[in-house]
Amino acid sequence: SAAKPAYVVDSVFQAKFDAILDSIYAEQNYLMSAADSSIYVPWRDTVVYKIDSTRLAKLTRPAADSVAVDSTAVEPAAVDIVPADSVALAIPKYTEEELKAAMVKDDVATKLLRDSLDVLYNSFWQNDTISMPLMDSLMRAYSESLGSNLPDAKDIKRAIKKNKQDYRDSVIQHTPRILETFVVPDSLYYKQMLIWTHSQFTNDIALQERDTSCNYNFYDNPAFKDDADATYLGVMGSALQRTNYFKRESLKEASFFDPYLIYTYTPETLPMYNTKSPFTELAYWGNPFSSKQKEESSVNLLSTQNITPSLNLTLLYRQFGGTGDLSNSKTNVRTSEIGLNYLGKRYEMNAAYLATRVKNSESGGVSDVFWVRDTTIDTKAINVNLQKAENLLKRRTVFITQSLSIPMNFLRKDRDSLALGQGTVAYLGHSMEFSKYSKVYTDEISTSDKVGRAFYFDQFNISNTASHDSVSVRNFDNKVFLTLQPFANDALLSKVTAGAGYQLLSYYGFRPEYYIKGNKNQNSHNTYVYGKAQGMLKKYISWDAFGRIYTSGYFLGDLKLAANLALSLYPIPDGIHLKLHGEMDIKEPDFYQQNLFYNHHQWTNSFIKTKTTKLEAALEIPHTKTKASVGYALIDDLIYYDETSTVKQAASPVHTMAVALEQNLRLWAFHFDHKLVYQMTSDDTVLPLPKFTANLRYYVQFPIVRNVLEVQVGANAIYYTKYYIQSYSPDLGVFYNQRTYEWGNNPYVDLFVNAQWKTASIFVKYTDFLDGTPERGYFSAANYIRPSKAFKFGITWPFYVK
């Protein structure tokens, strides 16, 4: 039996075709009435495209064994009808026997075939010369009507384009998106989130773990997360200096920004992310239940997600601020970040734009500590040293650090089986940073304001009643480096780096001669070379050594040498880790420590370089939650600020040592978390430090809903022994020494409820619970008080797909 004809028609075309047939039927009846009554062409469901009298022969094909006598008179042995336009309709070829057998059927396909044969046989072989022109006209009219309703070229192109796009989308959707890079081991390719910081000198990364626990998020002041205490002005967002000398940060190019580094990031402390799913974190800390006059409010908004498995985009906004307990002590520190990083098979890149703005009102602290120690007066009513003073600091930074991996395994037979980053590799790197720092201090002190004038020791160099002191630094740093990996990235000698850099520093600071000559920036062209070597032995030993020397410019002769050694043993889970660090730093004093002309301060110095030697050791036992460290520093020609806030250089070397312990203990449901620091200094008139500082957090922890909600209820106490705590100079933006009052031996206690609700951390604190016990006067810096009684609330809520 004959095969059933294939009949494939697009649904859209079928709808158009049905509409055409309705109009064709009417036209057909009119044409047929004018012809011979013996001629009958049944259309029904038949479709024949663009057939005329000169092309009918092309629709027939003689049998292979027949001989054509006349090209228009050969009876066909098979029929092959092919649509002239690209429409999905086809009638297959049949032999004469198959056609006769198929004609007896009465289905749709047979009707289609029979009607087509009627047109061919009746019209071509048996019609007379009168019917042929009629057939031509009929076919032409039908073809033109059909052609006007068929898809045009644009429709076809759009359909093809859509099919290609659907294919690409399908491939992308069903192709696994896996991170492949030489930067991290392949065991980390599938980790949910990678976090790291990088070095601008070598583009090496240091992996970190993100702590989302309620214990880490308990401290709203970022300094307390890894230190026992801090010297600050009593309100969030104010100038701050860490208690532990070995944790203090400094900017080589712009030291006036040092007190605010804790609230923002530098290129080398900025976290970079690589995530398998979008990650968002929302955080708020503040005392919304307090009066607006003492309100404190801080937020942190983080959003990071991968565009591709290798390319990540991060957006960050942080704000720390409050109105403070004292009058004229409002703070507002804001940081924004747009970060971009790429971890590829051969290319690594870390880049970001950072913007920080600090706008703080400066009170100068209380004018007389009597009102704090011996009265219960509202703190907002206590007189302060400065009634109208303000600091405005800005920082804009854009940086990029990138490196290209160049495998050099040409002669190795197993090079195709080597993992990324394995074998002999060269890394060609480049790093660029442009930063602009500025500081503007303003105040108004009338001639009758004896307190304000005494605060600045009656020194008014430019104006007798108002100040407008501004400084700025522009830093353009560009460096290239070459890293060689001779053996493997986990070899005892894994990498050797050599690099060179050029730095353009532009300083501005007012000088009296600018009244005549106009303002002028002082430019310094610095060049330097550096090198680094590093290696490891499996997971037990890792080491690195770094050196840099400036060969020209303002920092000519500055030298830094540093070495690290890490030893790990695993007799217990998570191991025991010992880290050793040694450092020698020879550094030119800051530009503004040498040259400065403010309304309240001025100097021109020729200080020599400060030489610092540090030795540090740290022990970490994760299983017992133990962290211990000891540090020793010898500082020769130390720069400090004396009792009149004037910059000085120490005549003799200063020795200091710090021993720190962080130990968390547990007894059933009771937890005892400790941060302890013991420090010694050879000269507290130059470098004053508290001998002992403690941050204690004792609480009971219990589940409300197991594995869903854990709650802690307890107290947090901060204590330090008596010493001459430093004061703060608003116009200089530095902490300076004072020998008038000793503060300390007075614990500051908060009561709290801290909770972990799945991934969210929530706390409620009642600050300053003791309030004057054993005595009043909780000072965070000389003449600056800690927050008074208030309810404080905080929440940190990360959102991500596990």
List the structure tokens of 342: 């790429």
In whole angstroms, how far apart are CA 291 and each of 298, 324, 398, 511?
A: 16, 11, 39, 44
- Say whether pLDDT at 777 is over 60: yes
Task: Report which residue type is found at 446.
Answer: S
pLDDT at 414: 58
Range of 15-29, 457-471, 774-788 with top mean pLDDT: 457-471
> What would the pLDDT profile of 597-606 be if each residue is shown by its tens digit?
999 999 999 9
Name the β-bridge partners of 633. Answer: 614, 656
- Say whether pLDDT at 255 is over 90: yes
Buried b (16+ CB within 10 A) or exposed e, 75-112: ebbbbebeeeeebebebbebeeebbeebeeeeeeebeb
Q: Residue 39: CB partners within 8 Å, gap ≥ 6?
A: 32, 122, 123, 127, 131, 134
Buried b (16+ CB within 10 A) or exposed e, 611-647: bbbbebebebbeeeeebebbbbbebebbbbbeeebbb
pLDDT at 60: 40
pLDDT at 778: 86
List the structure tokens of 636: 């020769």
Q: How many degrees, rounded to 5, is the angle at CA 539 between CA 536 and CA 542?
A: 30
> Which pTM does this prediction carry?
0.78
- Which domains can be identified in the chain, with CATH numbers? 11-157 (no CATH), 193-800 (2.40.170.20)
Would you give the end-to-end CA distance of the chain in angstroms? 62
| Cα–chain center distance at 35 | 83
Buried b (16+ CB within 10 A) or exposed e, 360-393: bbbbbbbbebeebeeeeeebbebebbbbebbbeb
Average pLDDT of the segment spanning 618-647:
97
Q: Residue 568: CB partners within 8 Å, gap ≥ 6?
A: 539, 540, 541, 575, 576, 577, 578
Give the three-class secondary structure for 146: helix
**Within 13 Å and on the Cβ side, how many CA atoms surround 630?**
1
Q: Residue 402: CB partners within 8 Å, gap ≥ 6?
A: 203, 347, 348, 349, 350, 351, 429, 430, 431
Q: Residues 507, 522: contact at Cβ < 8 Å?
A: yes
> What would the pLDDT profile of 580-595 be if each residue is shown by its tens digit?
999 999 999 999 999 9
What is d(CA 407, CA 415) in angstroms, rounded to the nearest whole number?
A: 9
> What would the pLDDT profile of 494-532 be if each residue is shown by its tens digit?
999 999 999 999 999 999 998 888 888 999 999 999 999
Q: Residues 678, 694: contact at Cβ < 8 Å?
A: no
176-180, 566-570, 760-764: range with lowest mean pLDDT: 176-180
**pLDDT level of residue 184 (50, 70, 90 thresholds):** very high
Q: Residue 417: CB partners within 8 Å, gap ≥ 6?
A: none
List the structure tokens of 635: 């500082």
- Considering only CA atoms, give the Rg of the chain: 42
- Say whether pLDDT at 125 is over 70: no
- DSSP state, 191? -
Average pLDDT of the segment spanning 407-422:
66
Three-state SS string over 456-473 comes to: CCCCCCCCCCEEEEEEEE
**pLDDT level of residue 38 (50, 70, 90 thresholds):** very low
**pLDDT level of residue 680 (50, 70, 90 thresholds):** very high
- Say whether pLDDT at 332 is over 60: yes
pLDDT at 23: 55
**pLDDT level of residue 43 (50, 70, 90 thresholds):** very low
Q: Residue 259: CB partners within 8 Å, gap ≥ 6?
A: 239, 240, 241, 733, 734, 735
